[in-house]
């Protein structure tokens, strides 16, 4: 009775993932659930160049070694077509749908062919994007020549999403900084418009102040954060939630 076993699989994985306190714990849980769902491989990864990236980037997988070597030699972490496709949707997709999401180049087709030659056939990828963090995904794949277990794709969607969040937790998601500086309302106004790309003169017009006053507010905000430049001030205020991406981009 597949219906019943699907939810049993989910509950078991959620329990393991919730208890996981290391990447190894999570890897083991993912290896088991992949098999249970009818997949052969999994890969939970940030879409970065692992040769250049440091410690904070996550990559947990059980892909064949020769595929991984080939992938890394070409530094495909950023440009892999499946990774690129995952930036065009908010829910999971089978790899057969990739050409509907992005325009495939000849190089992309070659990458997919080489994966097939090295044992990775079709798959299902669950995107995970949190603003301010590297984009990522959790993929489940079948060996070359096998079929994706279509009935279990909703379960794979849930599992992939939950696994990525567990990885964020284990590897240290940003924590709320109780000691972060606060800004006055006026300082925050000026920081928000600066982050929108306005000059002091423009902000002065918008808020009905003199240009020097705007300069002063931004200087005082920088001093509270002890940063030398406005670019890092904007980043810090974003990180602390004093301003939000939506607020910045609003028209």
Residue 32 near which of a second copy, DNA, none (CB within 5-8 Å, type-dependent): none
Shortest Å distance, C-beta 177 to DNA: 13
Closest CA to 34 of 160, 133, 214: 160
Cα–Cα separations (whole angstroms), residue 234 to 135, 220, 222, 238, 251: 21, 13, 9, 6, 18
Distance, in Å, from the CA atom of 191 to the CA atom of 70, rounded to the nearest integer, reads: 45
H-helix or E-strand spanning residue 230: helix 230-239
How many positions of this chain bind a second copy (CB under 8 A)?
78
209 touching DNA, by CB under 7 A: yes
Binds 212, which of a second copy, DNA, none (CB < 5 to 8 A, cut-off by type)? DNA
Q: Which of 19, 91, 97, 210 contacts a second copy by CB under 8 A?
A: 91
Per CB under 8 A, does 129 bind a second copy?
Answer: yes
Query: What string marks each residue from 182 to 201 as x (binds DNA by CB under 7 A) or -?
Result: --xxxx------x----xxx
Calculate Rg over the CA atoms of the chain. 22
Instruction: Map the footprint of a second copy across residues 132-171, applying CB under 8 A.
Output: 132-135, 154, 157-158, 161-162, 164-165, 168
Work out the angle at residue 196's Cα, subtended by the Cα atoms of residues 193 and 202, and round it to the nearest 5 degrees. Answer: 50
Specify which residues 126 forms β-bridges with: 138
Minimum distance from residue 81 beta carbon to DNA (Å) = 14
- Beta-carbon count within 10 A of 86 CB: 27
| 197 scored as a contact of a second copy (CB under 8 A) | yes
> Considering the rule CB under 8 A, would residue 224 count as an interface residue with a second copy?
no
Kindly state whether residue 79 participates in binding DNA, applying the rule CB under 7 A.
no
- From candidates 83, 121, 187, 209, binder to a second copy by CB under 8 A: 83
């Amino acid at each position: 009775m597949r219906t019943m076993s699907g939810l049993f699989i989910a509950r078991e994985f959620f329990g393991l993932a919730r208890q996981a306190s290391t990447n190894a714990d999570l890897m083991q849980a993912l290896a088991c659930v992949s098999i249970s769902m009818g997949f052969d491989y999994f890969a939970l990864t940030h879409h970065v160049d692992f040769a250049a990236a440091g410690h904070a980037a996550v990559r947990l997988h059980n892909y064949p070694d020769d595929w991984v070597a080939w992938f890394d030699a070409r530094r495909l972490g950023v440009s892999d077509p499946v990774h690129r496709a995952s930036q065009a949707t908010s829910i999971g997709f089978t790899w057969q749908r990739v050409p509907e999401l992005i325009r495939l180049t000849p190089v992309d087709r070659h990458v997919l062919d080489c994966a097939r030659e090295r044992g990775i056939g079709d798959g299902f990828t669950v995107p995970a994007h949190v603003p301010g963090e590297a984009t990522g995904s959790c993929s489940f794949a079948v060996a070359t020549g096998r079929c994706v277990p279509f009935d279990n794709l909703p379960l794979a969607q849930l599992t992939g999403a939950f696994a990525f969040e567990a990885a964020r937790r284990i590897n240290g998601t940003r924590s709320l900084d109780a000691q972060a500086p606060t800004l006055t309302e006026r300082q925050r106004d000026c920081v928000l418009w600066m982050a929108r790309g306005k000059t002091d003169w423009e902000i002065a017009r918008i808020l009905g102040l003199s240009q020097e006053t705007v300069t002063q507010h931004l200087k005082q905000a920088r001093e509270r954060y002890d940063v030398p430049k406005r670019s890092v001030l904007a980043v810090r205020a974003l990180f602390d939630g004093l301003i939000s991406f939506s607020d910045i981009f609003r028209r």
